[in-house]
Structure 1
Amino acid sequence: MRHTLPIAPQFYVTAPQPCPYLEGRMERKLFTALQGEGAQRLNDSLSKQGFRRSQNVLYRPACAECSACLSARVNVADFSMSRSQRRTWNRNAGLERRATSPWATEEQYNLFRRYLEHRHADGGMADMDTFEFAAMIEETPIRTRVVEYTDTETGDLVAVCLTDVLDDGVSMVYSFYDPSRPRASLGTYLILDHIEIARENGLPHVYLGYWVPGSPKMGYKAAFTGLEIYVNGAWERMRSPEEYSAQLHPLSNDPISEQVANISLPDGKPLRAR
């Protein structure tokens, strides 16, 4: 018997689980499969609407009583380095960038393990083995690159970013780096260099994932000028971080059915929620 894929993507909602960003809150995600010939166009379209990719799934927060997670991107044309960021840029002048196809290596995995042990030992990825790591890197139906950064003096791999190429920018899906170099501020440097990558390729945006007011883990994103956040169905220039509340908003979140109905697809076809 032959089977065909649904005409339009079907959307689902995860069961509630503890929020990784704000203590005492529960999160749910709205998600859909990323597959078939239209995967690239779907990823391009939904990325502009606050979705993120994880392997062959696109998702965004759909919490019942909280709207703290805000998708963030840098408008490249409006970005300028601060003095601190300029120092970080200069401090890492000895790194060489190399973009490759999405293939996992043992060297990447070893760096990934060191990063998790020092930065996220109690996180959801702490138990990820080599096969799961390879799946994170290699299972992608769209244009994806692994951007590696090597110390030109020692030859050591010091940072890696899994990067999607969109029609309007680059999306930093996941990055990790050598935790023994705290003064290098490698997390900041990776964003700075991806802004440069976007500039080199004439792309207007660098997608950073979610900024969460009130979460120390996400505070660094607010330091980038030209930052835009996705609020109430539209991108807006970020105001002062203090103006965005991380309070519970039980009446401000639309029901899941309405959230799905308001999603725009490349072909304009109807959606179905499950």
Structure 2
Amino acid sequence: MQTPGSPAVRVRGLRKRYGNSRAGFKDAVAGLDLDVARGEIVAVLGPNGAGKTTTVEILEGFRDRDDGEVVVLGEDPRQAGRAWRARIGVVMQESGDMSELTVAEKVRSTAAYYPDARDPAEVIAAVGLTEKARSRMRGLSGGQQRRLDVALGIVGRPELLFLDEPTTGFDPQARRSFWDLVTGLRSDGTTILLTTHYLDEAAQLADRVIVVRDGEVVAEGPPDTLGGPGARTPVVAWDDGGVRRTEQTDRPTAVVARLIAAAGPDGEVPGLSVSRPTLEDVYLSLIGEASTNDDGKEAA
């Protein structure tokens, strides 16, 4: 049983290997540690193949682990029963459900499995599918199917909600509406573990961001402090005889003044810009990829 004040999710030394003795083994998850406090929204970021989905599937109880300690809502997912499963909500990356049921029928039938389900009509409205309530699932667009997936994940009023790339296929307006929905769920006390490729989504929703690379956590913290204090130090960039120069500094005004003074009588510095690294810049540096600008050139 979960003790008061204990985290919703606690993971220590999690490992999952794939392969065999003949072809060799590969660690999809290599000693990962993770904590998620109750009522917190945590976004897990990482490139494809980093181990995000494998980790989440282990936490959901859909995949077994090779080693490590995993406690979710006070129980080990591989031993937890039906009562535990009723306390979690899952929105998988792909559902593949092309049922003949209508949207309303599917949400109502799913709600019947839970002891304290939300009102199906309210859930359908919350994900923006009221006009499609009588439509059959097989006729929904990709974005509409994704909204239905979210509805099915939250109708049981979960204590802990797993969202795996939840806004794939959403248009910008639908994504904003979904963000409002998630914020409301958090206000109601729902703990949320989110995986996403959208950096703006993580910045908007997450209390804390965890970056995973090669099956390990390489950084974690609030979105605006990820990577440590030096990661957001301003960058001054300019063109020097056809070469792009950059200087990262806590005193950008002084650098700009020096460049202007050295520029000659007109004081013009070609290509001058001052910017602060974004969450995307920090993330790409942590996973070992370079950010590029619109010209395809490496950015500062």
Query: Taking structure 1 as the reference length, what is the TM-score of the superposition?
Result: 0.33
Structure with the greater alpha carbon radius of gyration = 2
